[in-house]
Amino acid sequence: MAWIPAGEFTMGSDKADEKHNEEKPGHAVQVKGIWMDVTEVTNAQFKVFADATGYLTDAEKNLDPRDFPNVPSPEYLKGGSLLFKHTSGVNPFQCGVGDLPWWKFTVAATWRQPEGPGSSIKERMNHPVICLTYKDAQAFAKWAGKRLPTEAEWEHAARGGLKDKNYTWGDEERPNGKYMCNHWQGKFPATDLALDGFNYVAPVKSYPPNGYGLYDMAGNVWEMCEDWYGIDWYAKSAKYNPVGPAIGHDPEGTGYGQHVIRGGSWLCDEAYCFRYRATARQGLDTLTSTNHVGFRCVSDKAGPAGK
């Protein structure tokens, strides 16, 4: 783990365009010092936890029909994850929330087989663990004697000591033509040219660390935070060690709400998503697991969890 010193910074941005109003307003925030994992939690680390405890992730379990009496078919109760599929002939700007054809629910897509049945993590033990829900991330963090970061802690750490920069490494997206994180290049959602070296999740530490020695705070996989997600929460947020709203944004009316995810992923492209910027934020349904979201942990103290 790396020490992230206490400090004050401007969280969010007043410069965000209309597509990213959730990043407004920019506001002064002070956070305490914490220890943070240097990388996203890897498959190897999560396997130690799962093997030691027998823990089954949400994607590995079928839903209880008593909790969902109105589902049209038992198929909808089977465990699995949302997986990205390359999709041609689609204009992403014409797709509404909840109608994104490049996402396909895949039965039995789990952290152990992240592309569905027949896939494996055998050669990917140093990749970020994916296909987890918020509850799964919390379970690992508790077992490890750690916790998930608040959104404010996450952004402060991601900035690496830089002030008001667009990215975790500075203002220039590709300094000297060099790609600094794993994100989409090409025409989304059809073709990823992989100019950054990857067209899927990359191993941790594939790109340079930020000023605090943290890897992949931009791109690769989104990272779950402790806070509930509120689109307009920044206008109400406290200044000192803020946390999110009491309940999360719930656009689909599921009753479960969304938690914050930060950092962007391998699916973020400059034209459509552009969320590998330092201020970018988004919500993820609490019960949803996907192949572009992971997490890292923090600790409030040194010792076994703070090394």
Question: Which 8-state DSSP code applies to residue 82?
Answer: E
What is the model's pLDDT at position 250?
A: 84
Tell me the pLDDT tens digit for each residue of 103-148: 899 999 999 999 999 999 999 999 999 999 999 999 999 999 999 9
What is the model's pLDDT at position 304?
A: 55
What is the model's pLDDT at position 96?
A: 60
Question: Which 8-state DSSP code applies to residue 255?
Answer: S
CA dist 115 and 249 (Å) reads 29
- CA dist list (Å): 235 to 75, 125, 244, 280, 283: 42, 41, 11, 16, 17
Q: Domain tally for the chain? A: 1
Question: Which 8-state DSSP code applies to residue 290?
Answer: B
User: Is there a contact between 182 and 219 (Cβ–Cβ < 8 Å)?
Assistant: yes
Query: What's the CATH code of the domain at 69?
Result: 3.90.1580.10
**Ranges of residues in the chain whose predicted pLDDT is under 70:** 88-99, 302-307
What is the model's pLDDT at position 84?
A: 92
The maximal CA–CA distance of the chain, rounded, in angstroms, is 57
Q: What is the pTM of this model?
A: 0.93
What is the model's pLDDT at position 253?
A: 75
Rounded to the nearest angstrom, the gap between the alpha carbon of residue 14 and the centroid of all alpha carbons in its chain is 23
What is the model's pLDDT at position 12?
A: 94
- The domain containing residue 304 runs over which residues? 1-307
> Strand runs (DSSP E) across the chain, as ranges?
2-4, 7-11, 27-31, 34-36, 80-84, 103-107, 186-187, 191-192, 222-228, 258-262, 281-285, 293-294, 298-299
